[in-house]
Amino acid sequence: MNHHQAVRRHLHMLEQQLRDCGQWQAEPPHASAFESSQPFFLDTLQPYEWLQWVLIPRMHALLDGPHALPENFAVAPYYEQALAPDHTGRESVLAVLVELDALFSGDKS
């Protein structure tokens, strides 16, 4: 499996984890929620919303287009802090995010 395939597989795994824990939303947030200049849109979106409506689609767009994937990309540390220990689906979502981050660590072995 090449790097792009591995990233796409992890994005699908992340979506499945969000669905499994009941955090996948059928309707997107209001358009104004996407006008944030804050990292992770923390002033306008909940953490799982950012994954669903920003990270997953943007990563798929990068995979589908001519642009290079980011390097040294890491979101798991934010989610370790942003999600309370008893947050629904926290551990399963974090596990996928840690694996996804590892794909961008520069160690492609």
User: In a 10 Å sphere around its CB, with 0-12 CB exposed, 13-18 middle and 19+ buried, how is residue 83 labelled?
Assistant: middle
Confidence of residue 109 (pLDDT cuts 50, 70, 90): very low
> Does 67 fall in a domain?
yes
- List pLDDT tens digits, range 52-107: 999 999 999 999 998 888 888 899 999 999 999 999 999 999 999 999 999 998 65
Q: Is pLDDT of 40 > 50?
A: yes
Domain count, the chain: 1
Output the domain CATH number for residue 10.
1.20.1440.40
Please give the residue range of the domain that contains residue 49: 3-24+40-103
> Does 17 fall in a domain?
yes
> Does 18 fall in a domain?
yes
0.85 surpassed by pTM: yes
List % helix, strand, coil for the chain (3-state, nearest 5).
Answer: 60, 0, 40
> Does 19 fall in a domain?
yes
